[in-house]
Each structure stands twice: as C-alpha cells, then as structure tokens.
Amino acid sequence: MMIVEVEFRKFSGQSKEGSIYYLVKHEQFHLRMKSNYVLFENEWDNEIRDIIIDAGERKDYIGKIRCFVIAERDLLEKIVCRFIENKSRYTVDDVYREYNRLLSEMSFFSFIDGCISVLRTEGHWGTAQNYMRARNSFIEFIGCDMLPFTAITGELMVIYDRWLRKKEVSRNSRSFYMRQLRSVYNKAVNLGLTTQHFPFKSVYTGIDKTRKRAVEESVIKRLIRLNLSCCSSLSFTRDLFLFSFYMRGIAFVDMAFLKKSNVRNGFIRYTRRKTGCLMEVKLEDCMKEILERYAHKVSYSEYLLPIITEKDEDKAYKQYQNKRSYYNKQLKKLSDMLCLEIPLTSYVARHTWATIARNMNISLSVISAGMGHTSETMTKIYLASLDASMIDNANSRILSCLECI
C-alpha cells in the first residue's frame, strides 16, 4: 500500500516556525521531501495532519499555502502510483526528478507562457498582452512561477480576489485578470492537461458599466473648426481622432496598422484585430482629405497613416503601444483646450459614433454591423444578411449631419 502524508517539523532553536514536508511510504520505500512553505506551530494540527486556517491576519496566506500543499501532495501521489502501475523499480532520486520535471513542465505558468508565445507568433499581440498582464499579477500573488494546475481551485481564486481588493485594484480590473486566467485554464482543460472544476465560478468575471465615454455632436464640430496651425503634433492628433470617428469608430490599433493595400475601389477594407471581423468602409471625402494631408509622410511606407514605421512585427507592436499612449496624452491636451467635461480618449470616437447613430434612430443592427460587433447573436445574424450599402448610408448620414461631407 502506498501512502503520501504531509507533516510539520519545527526548526531547531527559538524559532516558532517550521517547515512542511511530504512523506511517501510504499513497502520498503520512504521519501521525505521538504516543501517551500513554512508555518507557525499553532497553524498545524498534528492529529489530523492538516493546516489550520483561522480568521486571523494570516488567513489568506495560510489558505493559499494549503491549496499549494494539497496540489503538490496529489502530484507526488500520481508519480509514485505511475511507477507502481508500470512495475518499475524506482528510487528516491527517480521520484524527486520526476516531481521537479512535472512541476516545471506542467506548471500553469509554463502553459500560459506557451500560450503567449503562440499568440505573438500568430500576430494576436493584444490578446498576448492581456494574458501577460494577468500572468504578471497572478505570479506576484503566488510568489513563484511553479504552480500545478490542480492548485487552481475556487478557494485559491477567492483568496486571489481578496488580495487584489487589498491592493485597491478596481472591480473591472479584477474581473479582467480573472477572465484572462479563466481563458488560459479552459484552454488547458480542452487539451486534457487538467480536469474542469470551474474554479472561477465564485469570483466576479463580468464587466461593470463605466462612465460615459461619448461626447456631443457639438464637440466634434468644435474639434473640426479648432485652429491648430501653431502645433503640428496636436493637429495630427485631432486628425487621427476625426479619422477614427469618420471610419465608424475604428479602434486605434486597427487605424495604426491600416495599409495602402487596404484601400480598393473607393473603400477601406480591413480585419478587426479584436474580433477578426472583416470591415468595409466607404472612403468619404473627409477621410480622403486627412489621408492626402499626410500622404507625403508615408510616400515610402506601406502604411496608410504615419503612425507605424517599424517593419519588424514585434517592434511595430511596441511602437503602436507607445504611439497610443502619446496619442491619449495629446487628446488630453485637446480636451483641456476645449474645456470638455468628458475627456477625449482613443475610445471616445467609437462611443461617440455609436451614440450619435442611435440618437438619429439608426437601427441597432446597422450600428452593430457598422462597428464590427460579433458578441450578440442577433448582431451575427444581421452581419450575415445586411446590405453593406445600408451601413455606408448610415455613416454618410452621420457625417452629413456634422457637415463633414
């Protein structure tokens, strides 16, 4: 019979702390392996050989340690059982090596790093960045980069959520981290690397309503008429914002990576990076005017606008991130110049186009299709059957109302 036990050993001397050990017993085979975790003596129950979780200040820390210990004990048990089932002769060193190998290769963090690498290779830089942000937060909470999939439990995620709250991370940001980690976990489940136990069902993964991001029609008109001849950088920022608005609220990432090859027969065709949806926007005169204004700056470039200059994909994406940050800072300056209550950001053009369209009684289906939304079932149905001219007509109505065309 094989037994894997957890035991506690005090340090010698005056210290009240001790270490957690794993003890494997099978016939004549005995293995005692020290873990990375230390506890105080009153946090261990020697009779039931388990960690005691009270309501004190160390409650979450002890709860986290208990999740790790259970997962690592189970991993050791599976390793020894596999040796026994294969009727292999094994030594303490064999078990120890296999344990470290599996802990490294089948770690949650090893898997998420692999996912990030694949996403970058496939050009999904935004999703890769989201995974990286969640990974960095979670690894700070865990305290190391070795975590078995079995340690991802509902209890651990609740503790992680409390840890985020203590760091004053907003509810939407906490949800963002949870959604990214859940996505990675579900990928591992689909690949058979772990069993689905729904560890995220007890934490919030929704999206709270944020403050209003749309500005009034009058703000767009004031922005168009604003004299910025004395500052070329602000003038360029204004033109990018307006171009985004004219393009039915095209996201900054999609606008930055637009290429000259995307312009064909009086239309700009591109694929949304976020959803993979193919978009087609009629090239109106107000858009042509902006493109012609900066044509000399992209005469030797494949890009439509002078935002990206790097040819290497990795460097180009980093350049996009830097340009987006600078773009938002410049939009803040424009907002101050116009004394706006709702400051302009890279998202405001998109929200404003949708809001103005709604106020003009343009149907939700046309608005959704015009913005490339694919998250709602009804939107998907309309995307499959809607006449593209209806979307272009809707955009023309909006731009005409603002005297853009």
Contact (CB, 8 A) for 188 and 149: yes
pLDDT at 387: 52
- At the topology level, CATH places domain 217-401 in hpI Integrase; Chain A (1.10.443)
pLDDT at 124: 83
pLDDT at 277: 84
Q: Structure tokens of 59?
A: 């409650």
pLDDT at 225: 93
pLDDT at 382: 30
Q: What is the pTM of this model?
A: 0.68
Contact (CB, 8 A) for 172 and 210: yes
List per-block mean pLDDT (blocks of 10 residues) for the chain, which spans 405 residues.
81 75 80 85 84 82 89 85 79 81 83 91 86 95 89 94 93 94 95 91 81 82 92 95 94 95 94 86 94 95 95 89 94 94 89 82 75 52 46 78 70
Listed in sequence order, the DSSP H helices in 191-340 are 217-225, 232-246, 252-256, 285-293, 313-337
Listed in sequence order, the DSSP H helices in 199-306 are 217-225, 232-246, 252-256, 285-293
pLDDT at 389: 63
Contact (CB, 8 A) for 75 and 194: no
Residue of 378, 351, 348, 349 whose CA lies nearest to 366: 378
- How far is Cα 132 from Cα 138, in angstroms, rounded to an integer? 10
Domain extents in the chain: 1-105, 121-210, 217-401
Contact (CB, 8 A) for 305 and 240: yes
DSSP characters for 101-112?
HHHHHTBHHHHH
pLDDT at 328: 94
Q: Structure tokens of 315?
A: 């460097």
Write out the H or E segment, with its range, that includes residue 30: strand 29-40
